[in-house]
A and B are shown apart, each in its own frame.
Chain A
Amino acid sequence: MNSLTYTVIFYLFAAITVFSAAFVVFSRNVIYSAFSLLFTFFGVAALYVFLSADFIAVTQVVVYVGGILVLLLFGVMFTKGIMDTEVKSDVLHIIPGTLILAGIIGALLYTFYTTHTWKPSETQLHGSLVERIGFETVSHYVLPFEMVSILLLAALIGAAFLARFDKPDNKNS
């Protein structure tokens, strides 16, 4: 693949990400915002591919699109009268908001322009990333991995407990 094609595809995905993210924020309709998130997540996954992190890209699609977005859409769809309520905030602080925005953008741009060169990673990536992730997870980082599993298990048990259907006759006895 020549570099021009590469660049064009990169900017295409970047544009998809930015415009859909803007649509999520500016849309007045919650359903449209939620569906627009699909394109944002997908664009971000594509950007991960450009960073040669293909495993993370697919995980992004599985976790965010398959899990979080579906959960979000279910929540939105089962909420009564969601299409009638207009999403807007009554309190609007324009001046402090603009100041914070300008401050953050200024700080980021300052960092970009004072750090003259992009710092390339010292270790270059070789071969398949998936195997490295597998080996590191169960050797070097096995304790954090297990801790996260236990945390997720506790969250699952808690969710199952909260969602459990209480039979009416159980309450009386």
Chain B
Amino acid sequence: MGNSLNAWSEALVGFTPMGLPLGLVILAAIPLVFIALYSLTYGVYGERKISAFMQDRLGPMEVGKWGILQTIADILKLLQKEDIVPTSADKFLFVIGPGVLFVGSFLAYAVLPFSSSFIGASLNVGLFFAIGIVAIEVVGILAAGWGSNNKWSLYGAVRSVAQIVSYEIPAAIALLCGAMMAGTLDMQKITMLQSGSYGFAHFFLFQSPIAWLPFLIYFIASLAEVNRAPFDIPEAESELVAGYFTEYSGMKFAVIFLAEYGSMFMVSAIISIVFLGGWNSPLPDIGSFALNAWTNGPVWGVFWIIMKGFFFIFVQMWLRWTLPRLRVDQLMYLCWKVLTPFAFVSFVLTAIWVIYVP
């Protein structure tokens, strides 16, 4: 297992004991385990602690030191809960809704390069796949909202879907700016084009004077795509109880939350890969002090991409307690009359920059 490109994942694909493609299953299971572990620790516990500190509270403190084991206790509680399906609900859609939702948020992990040696599938349409596959999540939300047979759920689902479908447009155009600077849609190649001995100076965000605009547009649009504040009108507690998952309880509720945390990391990883160099170390070489060379490599790559993803998740949590929720009409105004025109402007400017300047 060398340091060459995709060495780990290709070794896994070749792992077929007794002719069974066990390696493929393990390859798919690694992101699944990652999502579960990270939502358990950083997702649930971190979000509760961060929101507590922002409101000058202590947060969970009872279970374990500083409440570290609180999430484990919560999971044990959720596992014991009765699996309730409302009598008037559409049983089939109610049950498959969370599953389809989770599959939708999990599928994009196939094309996220976690390190120079590990990527689920090094597709040459990777970025396009990652934006497009969110469509499955939309169908899951609709199934959950309709299947619950509840006004709040249906309204939450419709709002959520309208929001995701609209914000896909500025998000896709903003990512296209990054793809234009790279000249490829392959996530692994996009990341490799941003490596160099000056560290962060090679990242696309600092390579062009316009790149901050698509970066900001994608960040705002990605908040809307994962239904985080200030775009959390699909689950607005003060209006819709809890939106499309009002009727869910027990493990189905946990699966919906797992899907939300999964897509939170997915959009954070995509923004890090396209604009902030993915698994490349941001530290520059200073003379003979080769800081960049020391902090690069397959294992360091895993560290950097996860840290960059976690940073953006922290910003998402931070914004949740900073900004008030938008109204539905304000949400659509922001998407169609502010973000989309600016995305087009940044698209044209990036095209001019890519063709004429360097």
Could you tell me which A residues sit within 8 Å of B by CB distance?
A: 1-2, 4-5, 31-32, 35, 38, 42, 54-55, 58-59, 61-62, 65-66, 69-70, 73-74, 77, 128-130
Contact = CB atoms under 8 A, between A and B. Distances in A.
Contact of B139 (A69, A128, A129): A69
B124 A61 contact: no
Nearest to B131: A62
B142 A58 contact: no
Given A54-B125, A58-B125, A35 B93 contact: yes
Given A66-B168, A77-B154, A32 B135 contact: no
Interface stretch (B13-21, B66-74, B197-205, B283-291): B13-21
B132 A35 contact: no
A103 B146 CA distance: 41
A39 B186 CA distance: 26
A58 B124 contact: no
Given A1-B21, A77-B154, A129-B124, A65 B136 contact: yes
Majority DSSP secondary structure for residues of A touching B = helix
Majority DSSP secondary structure for residues of B touching A = helix
Interface of B: 13, 16, 19, 21, 24, 90, 92-93, 100, 123-125, 128-129, 131-136, 138-139, 142-143, 146, 154, 158, 161, 165, 168, 184-186
Contacts of A74: 158, 161
A1 B132 CA distance: 26
16 contacts: A1-B21, A31-B93, A35-B93, A35-B143, A54-B124, A58-B129, A58-B133, A59-B132, A65-B135, A66-B132, A70-B161, A77-B142, A77-B154, A129-B124, A130-B125, A130-B185
With a 10 A CB-CB cut-off, give which of A1, A32, A66, A130 has the most chain B CB atoms: A66
Contact of B21 (A5, A61, A73): A5
B136 A38 contact: yes
A58 B128 contact: yes
B146 A38 contact: no
| Closest CB pairs A-B (n = 9) | A66-B135, A62-B132, A65-B135, A128-B124, A5-B21, A58-B129, A38-B139, A58-B128, A58-B132
A5 B124 CA distance: 22
A31 B21 contact: no
Contacts of A55: 125, 128
